[in-house]
Amino acid sequence: MSDRAAAVAAAARALARDWPHFIRRTPLWRLPGSALGLGCHEVWLKLEHLQTAGSFKARGMLWRLLSHPIPEAGVVVASGGNAGIATAAAAQALGVRCEVFVPTVSSPAKQARLRELGAQVVVTGAAYADALAACLQRQQATGALLTHAYDQPEVVAGAGSLAWEIEDEAGVPDAVLVSVGGGGLIGGIASWFGGRSRVVALEPEGAPTLHAARAAGRPVDVEVGGLAADSLGARRIGTIAWEVAQQHVGEALLLPDAAIREAQLSLWTQMRLAVEPAAALGLAALRSGAWVPRTGDRVCLVVCGANLEPGSLAG
């Protein structure tokens, strides 16, 4: 077992043992491909949008906080919304202060949820990178514990704990389709499944961090926009995700907003899963034909988040 896989296993076991009241073991739906109009043998939906704080981010944020002493100034994070919500929820559970820097693209629903969780919210900058710069300045001034949205070892290992759960319940899927922003989720999943399952990275055309890095041969800044920018709006792939992806991610595909939106609405109308656009990329890749499974494949889709505007599902 690699060091990164061992870190995932340690995080998964500790969270399951000590924090089952906070980190939920989310359901894994196993459906015949035909139920979704798909050609693969079986589709597994890991319903991580039912996680505490509405996304997989709760796993890595709590593990980060549990792994370090928390100063009197509390914790600070920059986020498009989901990582901030998860950090605020973890901070509330631990009884510590939390300050969250979000860009103007962050949805009002996510900002409202942050305030409900007791976080101090600072709205600044047009994109995640701008909020991060302001967050880093604040951390240097206060000495608060910095929680990065996707590029810290504990955050990646915590995210990977959902892959550990998938295998524990159902075994190793033939392929797992993962939405990518900064790369914390795919870094954790590929660290666990690497070499045993085909891990496919999916990005919106408007936020191609991994795709651009592969074209350049190194992480580079990209322009960010489009339907899923509030969740997948990092300007650059994380260093951990880049390292892991070079070893364990075979494909990095881009999807248009129209396909993502169609899949999001399909998850709602056909299955009553109310999820944000970022959570629909796996189904979008299958329904649009951007990624074609093999006939006998068991394909896992990570339904990663549900922090959306309630009215946005109106067709």
Q: Are residues 134 and 247 in the same domain?
A: no
Section 172-183 average pLDDT = 96
- Residue 82: its pLDDT value, please? 86
The answer, yes or no, to whether residue 253 has pLDDT greater than 80, is yes
Q: Are residues 65 and 50 in the same domain?
A: no
Q: How confident is the model at residue 252 (pLDDT cuts 50, 70, 90)?
A: very high
- The answer to whether 218 and 245 are in contact (CB under 8 A) is no
Percentage above 70 pLDDT, the chain:
98
Q: Assign 98 to helix, strand or coil.
A: strand
User: Around 176, how many Cα atoms within 13 Å sit in the side-chain half-sphere?
Assistant: 34
Q: Are residues 76 and 143 in the same domain?
A: yes
- Residue 311: its pLDDT value, please? 66
Q: Which residues of 25-39 are buried (b: 16+ CB within 10 A; e: fewer)?
A: ebebeeeebeebebe
Q: How confident is the model at residue 227 (pLDDT cuts 50, 70, 90)?
A: confident
Closest CA to 305 of 267, 268, 275, 265: 275
Closest CA to 223 of 233, 231, 211, 238: 233
Q: Are residues 309 and 217 in the same domain?
A: yes
Residue indicated by tokens 């043992």: 17
Mean pLDDT of the chain: 92
Amino acid type, 49: H
- Alpha-carbon distances, residue 273 vs 119, 263, 265 (angstroms): 28, 11, 9
Pairwise pLDDT comparison (263 vs 231), residue with the higher score:
263
- Residue 315: its pLDDT value, please? 57
For 113, other C-beta atoms within 10 Å of its C-beta total: 21
Q: Are residues 195 and 271 in the same domain?
A: yes
Q: Are residues 27 and 66 in the same domain?
A: no
- The answer to whether 285 and 177 are in contact (CB under 8 A) is yes
The answer, yes or no, to whether residue 182 has pLDDT greater than 80, is yes
Q: Are residues 303 and 227 in the same domain?
A: yes
Section 106-125 average pLDDT = 90
Q: What does the pLDDT look like over 58-70, one tens digit per residue?
A: 999 999 999 999 9
H or E segment and range at residue 123: strand 120-123
* Domain of 240, in residue numbers: 3-56+155-313
Choose one of 112, 130, 147: the last residue of a domain.
Answer: 147
- Residue 128: its pLDDT value, please? 82
- The answer to whether 105 and 127 are in contact (CB under 8 A) is yes
**Cα–Cα distance measured from residue 135 to residue 277, given in angstroms and rounded to the nearest whole number:** 26
* Count of domains for the chain: 2
The two tokens of residue 182 are 């900064």
Section 219-226 average pLDDT = 89
Q: Are residues 133 and 160 in the same domain?
A: no
Closest CA to 225 of 277, 186, 286, 266: 277
Section 138-144 average pLDDT = 96
**Cα–Cα distance measured from residue 30 to residue 77, given in angstroms and rounded to the nearest whole number:** 35
Q: Are residues 258 and 268 in the same domain?
A: yes
DSSP 8-state symbol, 105: T
Choose one of 118, 147, 176: the last residue of a domain.
Answer: 147
- Cβ neighbors of 5 (< 8 A, separation 6 or more) are 191, 192, 194
Q: Are residues 133 and 264 in the same domain?
A: no
CATH of the domain at 101: 3.40.50.1100
Closest CA to 89 of 21, 161, 142: 21
Q: How many residues does the chain have?
A: 315
Q: Are residues 184 and 95 in the same domain?
A: no
Judging by beta carbons within 10 Å of its beta carbon (0-12, 13-18, 19+), is residue 50 exposed, middle or buried? middle
Choose one of 86, 112, 147: the last residue of a domain.
Answer: 147
Lowest mean pLDDT segment, chosen from 79-83, 162-166, 177-181, 186-190: 79-83
Q: Are residues 13 and 103 in the same domain?
A: no
- Residue 295: its pLDDT value, please? 84
The answer, yes or no, to whether residue 310 has pLDDT greater than 90, is no
